[in-house]
Amino acid sequence: MNVALLAAALQPHGESSTAHDPGFPLLTSIVVVPVVFALCVALIPRSRPEVVKLVGFLGALSTGLLAVVCAIQFESGEAGFQFVSKHEWIREFGVSWHLGVDGISLFLVLLTGVLFPIALAGPKIHRDVKSYVAWMLVLEAERPGSFLALDLFVFFLFFELTLVPMYFIIGGWGYENRVYASLKFFLYTLFGSAFMLVGMIALVFLTATGDAPVTFDLVELAERQTLAASTARWIFLSFAIAFAVKVPLFPVHTWLPDAHTEAPTAGSVILAGVLLKLGTYGIVRFGLYLFPQASVDLAPLLLTLAVIGMIYGALVATVQKDLKRLVAYSSVAHLGFIVLGTFAFTTTGLSGGVLQMVNHGLSTGALFLLVGMIYERRHTRQIAELRGLQKSMPMLAAVFTVVMLSSIGLPGLNGFVGEFMILIGSFVTARWWAVVGTAGVILAALYLLWAYQRVFHGAPDEANSGLPDMTWGERAVMAPLIVLIVFLGVYPKPVLDRINPSVERLIGHVEQHSDYRQPTVAAEPESSH
């Protein structure tokens, strides 16, 4: 079945960025294939965990290959949605199965396709392998579905369904306080979703008139722009609260450190690498696109929260005693950068924000994998109990160094490109927020380098001196992430060539439907000599 799907997908799609997909439904397959494999896993006896792992990995890998096919066939330079698939679902309410991908969502789908096979192949599963793999495959189906949905009702379904598998993954395979952490994650996200549901219904029905029937279609709703300014701001806030919880932005971030600390290693990788991007992506796709004037009006509030989160997250990360919790708080700081770039409303800042979503997923996902490897050997994550690991695990220390430096934003690695673009783009329109936010870069170097020094340097004690280094299997798991970290740091042009047209189109949409105008750099006058 996989060979047939991939063979059909490799055929040229030959369609414009706005045409419906008349042939092979590539995007639908990216959503459906993991569900098919989850059903296959359900049929395998629990007494065959090795078969379950193999089938689960093949399912995740097949989905990843379909995402790669999508990226290969994606037409660079096209600003609109490609591989569009639209089928009527609930006619009375204008609901349709409407999927499409553009430069903003393409690499988030690809990131999902990369991280899930790694998450299933890398960390060990110590109990109930069958249920764990099945939930991971269901989660993999929902992630690209959220990034591809162009119908608000379909998006909301994927947005909500994410709660279920992640709740069971944290609660069933996490650590000591896993039940508390999973319940807190569930309640916080459900709280935000309630606001979005109310706002979504209000938007759909308040924009419906005799000439414009009720519809949940994102593209149609974005073009109506008939709401009163005050109404649009309130509905925008309802969406923003839901996405702020997902990011998470200060002060609704407190669920994240607990969820990361108690989640199994693979759960932390997916949570940091993919799930958190649903918040930042939602702000870009739905906030700016549906409510351009409201997003401009409320940008100072969100910029302030973003900068507070950047500084607060970095400061709290600095004093953490648990290495995994330190990485969790670093996500609060780094995701604030993405929000800063988004509400700068410049092509450079927003493109940097989209790229940084991918960069954060790679770097932080890799950090969680490495912390998990340390825990498997030492059975502790307390920084005070880890010392001199470089002596016994030189390869792991070397890989940790590269990933740590990418998270700091060292030139030549992926983190630098995104942060540099965000700061350059936001300095033009949000200067003082950018200046304050720059301190986050300095603080990131502080807490990560200090943690590295305490964990890997010094003379190891007896408990840390005989630990085994990375196995060849662990090296193979980390290799794709290291390659992507270096590639995006050295040559990000192919990625930016596909992101920029969609970002420019979105900024143009904001300018068209608001009083915002993107600043231009004036040309220098010609010399009279």
pLDDT value, residue 47: 83
Please tell me the least confidently modeled range out of 16-25, 59-68, 192-201, 477-486. 16-25
pLDDT value, residue 439: 86
Whether 505 has a pLDDT exceeding 50, the answer reads yes
Q: Which domain holds residue 486?
A: 344-512
Name the residue with higher pLDDT: 13 or 192.
192
How many CA within 13 A on the CB side of residue 61?
11
Q: Does residue 70 belong to any structural domain of this protein? A: no
Give helix 178-206 / helix 229-246 axis angle, nearest 10°: 160
Mean pLDDT of 224-245: 90
pLDDT value, residue 403: 94
How far, rounded to the nearest angstrom, does the alpha carbon of residue 402 sit from its chain's CA centroid? 21
Determine the Cα angle at 182 with ends 107 and 329, to 5°: 60
Distances (CA, A) of 71 to 76, 78, 107, 386, 421: 10, 13, 8, 41, 23
pLDDT value, residue 24: 56
Residues 6+ apart with CB under 8 A from 58: 2, 37
Does the global pTM surpass 0.85? Answer: yes
Whether 529 has a pLDDT exceeding 80, the answer reads no
Mean pLDDT of 73-95: 88
Whether 40 has a pLDDT exceeding 50, the answer reads yes
Mean pLDDT of 359-374: 93
For residue 412, the SS3 value is coil
DSSP string, 318-361: HT-SBHHHHHHHHHHHHHHHHHHHHTTTSHHHHHHHHHHHHHHH
Q: Does residue 6 belong to any structural domain of this protein? A: no
For residue 491, the SS3 value is coil
Q: What band does 525 get if pLDDT is binned at 50, 70 and 90?
A: very low
Q: Does residue 315 belong to any structural domain of this protein? A: no
Longest Cα–Cα distance of the chain, Å, equals: 85
Whether 21 has a pLDDT exceeding 80, the answer reads no
In this predicted model, what pLDDT tens digit does every residue of 374-402 receive, in sequence order? 999 888 899 988 888 999 899 999 999 99
pLDDT value, residue 520: 67
Quick one: what percent of the chain has pLDDT higher than 90?
54
How far, rounded to the nearest angstrom, does the alpha carbon of residue 472 sit from its chain's CA centroid? 28
Nearest alpha-carbon partner for 498 in 149, 2, 110, 37: 110
Q: Does residue 395 belong to any structural domain of this protein? A: yes
Token pair 């569009």 is at which residue?
Answer: 84
Whether 159 has a pLDDT exceeding 70, the answer reads yes
Nearest alpha-carbon partner for 290 in 190, 185, 152: 152
Determine the Cα angle at 442 with ends 440 and 445, to 5°: 110
In this predicted model, what pLDDT tens digit does every residue of 460-489 receive, in sequence order? 888 888 889 899 999 999 999 999 999 999
Altogether, the residues listed in the chain come to a count of 529
How many domains does the chain contain in total?
1
Mean pLDDT for the chain overall: 87
CB 73 within 8 A of CB 465: no
Q: Does residue 125 belong to any structural domain of this protein? A: no
3-state secondary structure 75-120: CCCCCCCEEEEEEEEEHHHCEEEEEEECHHHHHHHHHHHHHHHHHH
Q: Does residue 271 belong to any structural domain of this protein? A: no
Q: Does residue 239 belong to any structural domain of this protein? A: no
Q: What band does 521 get if pLDDT is binned at 50, 70 and 90?
A: low
pLDDT value, residue 292: 92
Q: Does residue 411 belong to any structural domain of this protein? A: yes
